[in-house]
Amino acid sequence: MPQATPVDSEVSAPRFSFPAIGRKKVSAAFDGGRLTSDGGVLLLAQAEREMGICAQLAGCIADLRDPSRVIHALDDILRARVLAICCGYEDADDLDALRDDPGFRLALGKLPGAGAGLASQPTMSRWENAATTRELVRMMQAMIGVYCASYPIAPKAVTLDIDDTCDVVHGYQQLSFWNGHHGERCFLPIHVYDTATGRPVAMLLRTGKTPSGAEAAGHIRRLVHHIRKHWPTTRITVRGDGHYGRPEVMAFCEEAGVDYVFGLPTNAALRADPVIVAAADACAVKRAEEDRAVLRNYAETRYGAKSWKCQRRVAARIEASKLGMDIRYVVTSLTDGSAEYIYDTLYCARGQAENLIKRHKTQLASDRTSCRSANANQMRLILHTAAYWLMWRIQQAIPRTTALAVAEFATLRLRLLKVAARVIETATRIRVAFASACPDANVFKAIAISLRPAPT
C-alpha cells in the first residue's frame, strides 16, 4: 500500500548550515519528504477542469501515436505545460525537475507515490513542434471559443483592443525581421483583449514589421467572423492605435457593422482644418490669459484622406502649454458622445491593454519564442494564453473585498501558487497539509470552495 514519505527518509541528503540561533546550531538538507513548493497548482487544476481549455486544445491536434504504447495523454501533456507556466516554470526543461512533484502529480489526477511521472521535456518539445498550420488555426479558433464561453450569456456589447508588441529574437527564427523603430530583430505578435474585463481574446505570431492595412483588416475580419458564430447580435467595437486606423480596416468595419475607434496620425490637412485651428487658437489664448501651465480643449470635424472613400468623424484633443501646442486625433464610426468622451474616456482606456500585454509577456513569459519554427512559436503563444486564462479565472474567484482581487499575476503567483505543502497519502485518502502560518489561507480556501465542482 502507498505510504507517506517519512520526514527523515532521505538521510543521505547532504546537509548545510546557517548561523546559530540562541547557541543552537542550524543545519538543513533537502530531505523533507513528499513536499511541494507549488501547492497552489491544485487551484489551477480546478480552474482548468472547469474551463476545459487543455482538452479543447488537445482535440485540435491529431494524435498519431500507437494507443497501446501511450503513457501520457495529449491533454495531460498540454495541461502539465500550462500549469508549469502559471507557476513560473516557463521552459519545457523545467518539467524534467517537476516530473515527480507531488503537487503537480495531484493536479494531473495522478497519485503522488505510484505510476509514471509527468511527461518529460523531450515529450513536451515534440508536441510543441508537432502541430501543423491547420491545427494551430483550429487551436486559435478554440481559444476564441473559450473567450466567448467565459461569458454566461452573450453580452450586449464588447470593446476589443488590438495592438502589437515587440518580441525580441536572438537568432534567425522564421518570421523574425529587423524593426527600425524598436532597433531590434523581432516578432511583432498581435494581441487582442477584452480590456474592460481583462479577458484575452487572440494572440497571433507575425513578422517584425508593422502590419499593413490589408493584413490588419484580414486579421480583424477573421476574428469578428469567429466571434459572430457565438454572438450574432453582440455589438463589437474595435479599438487600436494609428497602426490600425487604415482605410482597409475602417472599410471592413463599416461593411460588417463593427464600430471602431482608432488613433489617427497628424498631417497638414488636419493641422489646417478651420475647426481645429479655431479651437486650438482659443485654447492657447485662454491658457495665456489665465496663466495656466496646461489647458486642454476638444474639437471634432469631418475629414477624408485621399485614400478614404468617404469622410469620417475625427475627434481632436488639444493641449496648450508653456512649451507649445500638442494635438492628438482619433477617427471613429461612433456618432454618440462628445469629442472629449470619445478621446479621454473611450480611446484613452485602451492604455489598460498595455498592462494586459505586460502580464502576458513578462509575468507569464510569453516572449520565450525561441524555437526555430514559426509554428512552434505560435504554439507557445497559445499555451501561454491558456495559462493567462487560468490566472484570470483564479483572480475572478478571489473575494472582491480583498486586495488580491486586483493584484498582478506575479503577485498572485507569489501569494497563492508558491505555497508549500506536505502531501500525505494513506490507504484510503490523500491529505495536503499547508503551512499553518500561510498569510493568505482564508483567500486560498475561498478560491478552492468557489472552484469546487458541483456534486453530481
Residue 456 confidence (pLDDT): 62
Contacts of 258 (CB under 8 A, 6+ apart): 220, 224, 236, 237, 238, 252
Residue 427 confidence (pLDDT): 85
Query: 18 pairs with which residues across the strands?
Result: 26
Name the nearest CA neighbour of 411 among 443, 451, 386. 443
Q: For residue 301, count other CB atoms closer than 10 A to its CB.
A: 18
Q: Is the dihedral of CA 144, 145, 151, 154 positive or negative?
A: positive
Q: Confirm if 83 and 104 have CB atoms less than 8 A apart.
A: yes
Q: How many whole angstroms separate alpha carbon 385 and alpha carbon 389?
A: 6
Q: How many whole angstroms separate alpha carbon 57 and alpha carbon 425?
A: 32
pLDDT at 4 over 60: no
Name the nearest CA neighbour of 34 among 132, 125, 85, 104. 104
As a whole number, mean pLDDT of residues 173-200 equals: 94
As a whole number, mean pLDDT of residues 401-421 equals: 94
pLDDT at 8 over 60: no
pLDDT per position as a tens digit, 28-65: 877 777 889 999 999 999 999 999 999 999 999 999 99
Q: How many whole angstroms separate alpha carbon 456 and alpha carbon 454?
A: 6
Residue 2 confidence (pLDDT): 43
Q: How many whole angstroms separate alpha carbon 175 and alpha carbon 205?
A: 9
Please state, rounded to an integer, the average pLDDT across all residues of the chain.
91
pTM over 0.85: yes
Q: Confirm if 352 and 313 have CB atoms less than 8 A apart.
A: no
Q: How many residues does the chain have?
A: 456
pLDDT per position as a tens digit, 103-124: 999 999 998 877 788 898 899 9
pLDDT per position as a tens digit, 63-77: 999 989 998 999 999
Three-state secondary-structure class, residue 168: strand
pLDDT at 312 over 90: yes
Q: Is the dihedral of CA 257, 260, 265, 266 positive or negative?
A: positive
Residue 181 confidence (pLDDT): 87
Residue 53 confidence (pLDDT): 96
Query: 431 pairs with which residues across the strands?
Result: 424
Q: Write down the residue that cell numbers 511527461 correspond to.
A: 119
HEC-encoded secondary structure of 400-450: CCCHHHHCCHHHHHHHHHCCCEEEEECCCCEEEEECCCCCCHHHHHHHHHH
pLDDT per position as a tens digit, 135-149: 999 999 999 999 999
pLDDT per position as a tens digit, 313-342: 999 999 999 899 999 999 999 999 999 999
